[in-house]
Amino acid sequence: MITKRQLAYGLMTIGALVFIGTFLVDWLGAGNFSGIGPYQRLALIGAGLTFFLGLTLLPLGDRPA
Helix (H, G, I), strand (E, B) or coil at 33: coil
Q: Residues near 34 by Cβ (< 8 Å), separated by ≥ 6?
A: none
The predicted structure's pLDDT at residue 26: 80
pLDDT in the model for residue 12? 96
Q: What is the pLDDT of residue 57?
A: 92
Read off the pTM.
Answer: 0.84
Question: Given this model, what pLDDT does residue 65 score?
Answer: 81
pLDDT in tens, 6-65: 999 999 999 999 999 988 888 887 766 677 888 889 999 999 999 999 999 999 988 888
Q: Could you tell me the CA-to-CA distances from 28 to 18, 35, 37 in Å, in that order?
A: 15, 12, 14
Burial of residue 37 (CB within 10 Å: 0-12, 13-18, 19+) is middle
C-alpha torsion angle, residues 7, 9, 60, 52 (rounded to 10): -100
